[in-house]
Structure 1
C-alpha cells in the first residue's frame, strides 16, 4: 500500500476536519481536534451545513449534512451525551425543522441556491425516504434522555420505520439500507432490543444486505456500486461472518486499485458547477483514503 503517499495527500489536500480525522486514526491525534474542526460546520440551530457533506455546499442546516456529523461522532466513538455538538444536533432534530412528523427531509429547498450534486437538488414532490431518518432515530435513542418527550417520539418513529422496512423489503437503495443497518446497531448498542423484534430485524438485514451488494466486481472500478464496507466496518459487525468472503475481497480490491499518489478513483461526478466539483472531488478523495485504510486495518486485524 502507498501509505506514505496517502498520508501526504491528506496533509496537502484535505480539509482541517479530515486532517484531524487522519491524525486521530493513524497519527496519534486527539479526538478533541476533530470536534473543534467539526464545530465550524455547525449552525446556531444545532444542525450542520457549510458543505460538511462534500456534494452539497449549502451553508444552511439540512438533515443530510447533519447526518454526516452523526457519522463522525460514531466514527470516533463519542459517547458524551452532554457534549455541545450532540446536544445541538438533538435540538435541531427536535425543533421540527425539515421534519414532517414522521421523517426528516432528504433534500431541502435551499440546496438549489448553492453548488451541489444533482441528487441533492430539491423537488417539490418527494417520495418518502428513510435516508437519513433511520439513522437519526437511532441517534436519538442513544443520546436523548430516556424520560424525554424526544426519546418517546423516537420510539414511535422506530416502530414506524421498521414497519416501512418490512413493507418495502427488499429495498433497492443501498444508502437507505445502510441507514436501517445503523438503526439496528444503535438499538442493540442502547440495549433497547424490546423496542422491535430485533432477531427478525437481524435476519431480514442479512438478506437485505446480500440483495443490494454488487457481486459483479468488474463494475467496482467504473460504476458507483454497493460494496460491503457500506454496511460492515469491522469484524465485530453482526453481518461480517456471513459476508466474510466479499469483505475480504474488498480489502484486496482496495489494495490493488490505489493510485500512485495514494488516492482512489472517485466513481461519481457533478454535471454542473465544475469548479466547485474539482474542489469537492479532492475532499472526497481524502475521505475515501481515511475510510479505505481504516477498513483494511479493521478487517485484516
Structure 2
C-alpha cells in the first residue's frame, strides 16, 4: 500500500470514529487545516482552575483536572507550535496548586477514583510527586522557553529524582528523557542521559521483535522520529524492519490498533483516533529521512 492509499484509509477512519479534537488535528497535519480549530477544541477540555480534564487522556473519564491531561494538552500544543497560547500560563498556574512538598506533581489525583477508569488509574488520598508526568511537563515548557515560577520548582524536583533513578520503565524514562533533552545544564543532562542509555542497552529491556504482541515497547516507541534521543540505540536495519511491521498494523478500517484493553468501545475509538494520527506522522517523518539516504 502506498502513502496516498494509507492516508485515504486513515482519513475515513478518523472521520468515522475519532473525536472532534483529533479530526481537527488530522486536518491540520494532513489536509492543510488551520490550528485555530485545534485550539478551540482543546480549550473545551480546560477547566476553570486552569488544568485539563474531561478525559483528554481517554483511559480515565474524570471531568476534573488531572496532571496527565495537562501533559496531553501540552503535547497537542507542541505538535501545532502553539505553546505560547494563554492556555499554557493557566495550566502552569494550576500545576502550582497541585505541587506536593517534594516539588513535583502526582501521577494522578484522588478524583480519578470516582469515575470509570482503567486499572492503572488509581490514586492514593495523598499521592506523592512523580517523574511521570512532572518531567515531561517541565521538558515541554523548557523546550519552548516558557517562563513561569513552577518550572524552576519542578525542575529541582526532577533533578533530585532523576539522580536517584535506576529504572528501565518506559513511562518513567520517556518523561525523564523529555526533561533532559531540554534542560539548560547540558553537562548534567548528558551525564544522566548516558546512564539511561547504559540501562536501555541491557538485553531484554527493549522488545526488538517487530511482530511481538501485547503491551510491549519497541524501538519506534522509544524513538518515533529520526530526531528522537533513543534513535542512536538502533541500527538503520532495525528501524526499517520495525517501520515495515508498523505500517502493516493498519487495520482494514483504516485505523491502527491499541495494544491494551480499553474500558469501553468509546474509549477504544478515542484512543485509536489519536494513535492513528501518531502512526501517520511517524511513518511520514521516517519516510522523509529514508528518501534522503
TM-score (norm 2): 0.87
Which SS does the other structure have where 1:64 is aligned? helix
The equivalent of 1:178 in structure 2 is 174
Residue 127 of structure 1 and its aligned partner are, at CA, apart by: 7.1
The equivalent of 1:90 in structure 2 is 92
The one of 72, 75, 79 aligned to 2:79: 75
The equivalent of 1:31 in structure 2 is 35
Which SS does the other structure have where 2:120 is aligned? helix
Residue 201 of structure 1 and its aligned partner are, at CA, apart by: 2.6
Residue 283 of structure 1 and its aligned partner are, at CA, apart by: 0.8
Which SS does the other structure have where 2:131 is aligned? coil
- Structure 1 115/105 Cα, relative in aligned 2: closer, same or farther at 3 Å? same
The equivalent of 2:291 in structure 1 is none
Q: State how 1:279-294 maps to structure 2 within 5 Å.
A: 279-294=266-281
- Structure 1 77/269 Cα, relative in aligned 2: closer, same or farther at 3 Å? same
> What is the Cα-based RMSD across aligned positions, in Å?
2.2
Q: Which sections of structure 2, spanning at least 5 residues, go unmatched?
A: 289-293
The one of 61, 64, 89 aligned to 1:60: 64
| 1:152 pairs with 2:156 | no
Measured in 1, the distance between the counterparts of 2:44 and 2:160 equals 34
Measured in 1, the distance between the counterparts of 2:180 and 2:173 equals 11
Residue 207 of structure 1 and its aligned partner are, at CA, apart by: 3.0
Which SS does the other structure have where 1:205 is aligned? helix
The equivalent of 1:253 in structure 2 is 245
Runs of 4+ aligned residues of structure 1 deviating over 4 Å after TM superposition are 124-128
> How many equivalent residue pairs?
280
Which SS does the other structure have where 1:119 is aligned? coil
- Structure 1 100/217 Cα, relative in aligned 2: closer, same or farther at 3 Å? farther
- Structure 1 49/286 Cα, relative in aligned 2: closer, same or farther at 3 Å? same
Residue 58 of structure 1 and its aligned partner are, at CA, apart by: 0.2
Any conservation in 2 of the 1:51–1:65 contact (CA below 8 Å)? yes
Residue 128 of structure 1 and its aligned partner are, at CA, apart by: 6.1
The one of 206, 220, 227 aligned to 1:213: 206
Q: State how 1:1-301 maps to structure 2 within 5 Å.
A: 1=1, 2-80=6-84, 83-95=85-97, 97=98, 99-124=100-125, 129-141=130-142, 142-145=144-147, 149-165=149-165, 168=166, 171-187=167-183, 192-194=184-186, 197-211=188-202, 212-219=205-212, 222-243=213-234, 244-270=236-262, 277-301=264-288
- Structure 1 226/140 Cα, relative in aligned 2: closer, same or farther at 3 Å? same
Q: Which sections of structure 1, spanning at least 5 residues, go unmatched?
A: none
Measured in 2, the distance between the counterparts of 1:106 and 1:295 equals 27
Measured in 1, the distance between the counterparts of 2:145 and 2:278 equals 25
Measured in 1, the distance between the counterparts of 2:155 and 2:99 equals 19
Measured in 1, the distance between the counterparts of 2:126 and 2:169 equals 18
Any conservation in 2 of the 1:144–1:150 contact (CA below 8 Å)? no
Deviations along 1:147-171, one digit per CA (max 9) or x if unpaired, are: x543432342232133133xx2xx1
